[in-house]
Amino acid sequence: MPDLILALDVTEKKQALRVAHACAPHLDAIKIGYPLVLSAGLGIAGELAREGLPLIADFKVADIPNTDTLICDQVFSAGFSGIICHGFTGMDSVKACVASAHAHKGECYVVAEMSHPGGKEFFSGGIAEQIASNAIIAGADGIIAPATRPDRVRVLRGFVGDKKILSPGIGTQGGDADAVASLVDGIIVGRSIYEAPDPAAAAQSYAHLRRDKKA
């Protein structure tokens, strides 16, 4: 049974803090990306950390190894416990992100395939499989695979073994949480929760899928 991860892709700090606080009892982690950080600053991590949940920086880091290290070091120093990077930049770049994460006792996840329709254009022809394989060789803690395409998640599971798979695209993008729950370690839900009239109730609606220890 997977963890429930809230993708808090909002730009207003007050909304972010309000939704996080309301939903926290029903979550296992919070993921934020550039929209919120560019609006509220990297310090938002410290404020969200008050909810007592792991924070994942969805920055999809994709640069040369030295720059990746500088980015990741800043992320973990700000209080994040996980980072998401791209894998198409090559093994050395992924290793740099993994090394920074582990030096800070954090985790690194590598995007193997994206959840939107365009994600099929270039993460195809064996590319996603190669990225997933490289992620494991590089020592990553897991990969990101699309809930919008459960068949692809199943294929990629064969390449990562018991490493974690976090799966975005549930709800608004069309992914079905029930369809991927048995295949992944974390389901990532964004707009279906934070745009709901009652975000806490929306988050609680996934309780039947969450790990028993959190239920």
Residues 6 or more apart whose CB falls under 8 angstroms from that of 13 comprise 36, 39, 40, 44
| 95 a catalytic residue | no
Active-site position among 13, 14, 31, 60: 60
Active-site residues, by number, are 60
